[in-house]
Amino acid sequence: MDYGYSTTSYGAQGGAGGGGFMPGSQTESPGGKKGYGKDSLRHVTIKQLVEAHHPNPDAEHFMIDNAEATQVTFVGQVRNISTQTTNVTYKLDDGTGIIEVKQWIDAETFGDENDPSNQKPKPTEQSYARVWGRLKAFNNKRHVGAQIIRPIQDFNEIQYHLLEATAVHLFFSRGPPESLQAKGGANGATNGGYQQRQQPQQNGYTGPSIPAGLSQAARRVLNCIKDTPQTNEGLHFQDIATRTGQEVNEILKAGDELQGHGLVYTTVDDHTWALLDV
């Protein structure tokens, strides 16, 4: 897998069909011809956008997982829409954070009912939308300058995006799956890793084996999630605390530990976890 360029466009015109380049990513070369720079499309969460950093004070681009992130795409719920003379500002929330998305208005086509761009469905408040754009900062406040923003038609796209963003994050933070499998085959579980093979559990759940170094609190949280009937949203940490009798701080630390080992993932918010079947 090569996460340098996205291969999933989810209906974006001019998205991944062009090798992951987004509209507006063309740069003017010294010879006057347009060429493509290092722009590529990456699936992210809003938390990653909020925590992104500049590699140096003079850099314009942001880094996520120590990799350059130019064009990004994410899915979130529209909390507010503000229409200005020059742009429309959307406030989006994906459960990991909130960020503003600005889409600039083309003065020549705005208000022209015959223009094709005005015939496309537009996001509404409390609906879900997908954004393609570039992370920017102005007056120490971050926003995403959107080339495309469209409402979500299939709600499965929300989960697809979160899984893809997780896969990309693991790729950049831990390396390609091939290298992890090779390392696991050489070292086994002797250096804190855990085997990737599937093992049946008592309740019929099949998942990765539990790492040897997992804390007792994390084991209790994991068993609680496994043994409690639930929806795809998983269990909230307060529900887990009630069922296990553990302190809230213990539950939160255990949740971070389980996420670090790739055993659970967050769903509707940062404190609701579901099992990650691999």
- Does the model's pTM come out above 0.75? no
Other beta carbons within 10 angstroms of residue 233's beta carbon come to 12
pLDDT in tens, 172-203: 888 887 766 666 555 544 444 444 444 444 34
Evaluate if residue 78 carries a pLDDT over 90.
yes
Evaluate if residue 36 carries a pLDDT over 90.
no
Evaluate if residue 30 carries a pLDDT over 90.
no
Q: Is 79 left (phi over 0), alpha (psi -120 to 50) or beta?
A: alpha
Average pLDDT over residues 110-123: 68
pLDDT in tens, 129-167: 999 999 998 888 999 999 999 999 999 999 999 999 999
What pLDDT band is residue 209 in, cutting at 50, 70 and 90? Answer: low
Other beta carbons within 10 angstroms of residue 274's beta carbon come to 17
The span from the first CA to the last CA of the chain, in angstroms, equals 17
**For 140, what's the count of Cα atoms within 13 Å in the CB-facing half-sphere?**
0
Q: Strand 235-236's sheet: what is its strand order?
A: 235-236, 272-275, 264-266
Residue 117 has a pLDDT of: 59
pLDDT in tens, 8-17: 444 444 333 3
Residue 171 tokens read as 């790729």
Q: Is 271 helix (H, G, I), strand (E, B) or coil?
A: coil
Residue 236 has a pLDDT of: 87
Could you please state the CATH topology (level 3) that the domain comprising 195-275 is classified under. Answer: Arc Repressor Mutant, subunit A (1.10.10)
Other beta carbons within 10 angstroms of residue 65's beta carbon come to 17
**Domain map of the chain by residue range?**
16-159, 195-275
Q: Domain 16-159's class?
A: mainly beta
The radius of gyration of the chain's CA atoms, rounded to the nearest angstrom, is 21
